[in-house]
Amino acid sequence: LVRRDAEPFLYEYVETLCESVGAPIPEEISLDADVNASASFAGGPVGFLTGRMRLTIGLPLVHGLTVAQLTGIIVHELGHFTQGSGMQLSYIIRHITMWFANAAYGPASAGWWLQSNTYPPWIVRIVCMFGIRISHSFLVVLSMLTNVVSAAMSRQMEFDADRLEALYVGSEVFVQSSRRLRRLGLAQQMALHDLFQFKQEGRLVDDFPRLIAVNVDRIDRELDALVRKQSQEMETKWYSSHPGDPERFANARSVQEEPAFHLPDSMMKARASILFHDVSKVSRGATMELYRNKLGSEFRKSELHDIEDILERREAEKQAAEALERFMRVEIPILYPIPISEYATEVTSDHERMYEKLKHQRAET
């Protein structure tokens, strides 16, 4: 949770968007290290009853999106704020679905008691077990039906919020930010892999959301093309809470009005981090929270290192690996080093002879 006195402009910016969109002003703005943004009730059931709203913004979006793209995503979530009764109904249906699923697939106490006790007569046990099976099947059907209703309602709410986003920032910005989110999601998986590798080395980045944004540039073309292909072929299932990208893009492009959000072009394309007073501070705070959740008692503050130092070291290791591959003319598995004999470290006095020998061996390789 970020306080107003820590990020006053962010609160003012969101409130201005709320007035423009006609959405209720959120009571809380929360920042985390996830590649996502969400609208929810502040305080769970209490927020549901009082209508208090919370806006959650993932800091990787702040580091990895432009002002226009992040504004569109915030407007999307504010669009959910305007769906007050819809959000409440969705909240109720979702919890009913969870209850039915737990009742249908959770442990059946009556069935366990019948199986673990020999006291009831066998005919009573058979009748009771038959009744339990019937009620279990009924709960499974109810669970599936409520899941279908919940998913369909969620998809429609997403379509409505998408249209509002496209109306505000334009359909092309919507498409760009959606594709960028896919890449940031992939970069997040890469960053989590980096996290556990860094942990083994006893050094952790102090700004994990920024590491995610930096990793976007490390996605190779083949993988990027594969992710885009999967996005283009994504189908909406009956249980999907969100529509597939092709449907969402078509829905957004159906909005023909001029975008309502206008800023100088340089501001539109600027990094979204300019909306924050001290984005590094809040990113480090979110990073600490992430490490406590992911690593638990294994997390040590003494292992934190400045992200610039770690990125510089990683770049140096990359350049060294590329130089080694160019010299050897084959890919060298850095994770599985080639064993080197103890005699290989001996220093020779005949440098010219050694040079010719290495040159000959390289030519043979």
pLDDT tens-digit map of 273-293? 999 999 999 999 999 999 999
Which has the minimum average pLDDT: 4-18, 51-65, 68-82, 194-208?
194-208
The whole-number pLDDT of residue 341 equals 63
Bridge partners (DSSP) of residue 2 are 29
Question: Span 207-221, mean pLDDT?
Answer: 93
The whole-number pLDDT of residue 167 equals 96
Provide the 8-state DSSP code for 120: S
Number of H helices, E strands in the chain: 15, 5
pLDDT-derived band at 245 (thresholds 50, 70, 90) equals very high
The whole-number pLDDT of residue 81 equals 92
The whole-number pLDDT of residue 342 equals 61
Residue-wise pLDDT for 137-188, tens only, equals 888 888 888 889 889 999 999 999 999 999 999 999 999 999 999 999 999 9
**Residue 150, Cβ density class (10 Å: 0-12 exposed, 13-18 middle, ≥19 buried):** buried
Task: Identify the top-confidence range among 10-14, 44-48, 133-137.
Answer: 10-14
pLDDT at 119 over 70: no
What is the chain's alpha carbon radius of gyration, rounded to the nearest angstrom?
28
Bridge partners (DSSP) of residue 56 are 30, 38
The whole-number pLDDT of residue 365 equals 63
The whole-number pLDDT of residue 357 equals 82
Residue with tokens 């673990």, as numbered in its chain: 116
Angle at 220 between CA 231 and CA 173, to 5 degrees: 45
What does the domain layout of the chain look like in residue ranges?
8-302
Please state, in angstroms and as integers, the Cα–Cα distance from residue 87 to each residue in 68, 81, 161, 224, 336, following that order.
26, 8, 12, 35, 52
Distance in angstroms (rounded) separating the CA atoms of residues 61 and 212:
9
Q: What is the mean pLDDT of the chain?
A: 87
pLDDT-derived band at 247 (thresholds 50, 70, 90) equals very high
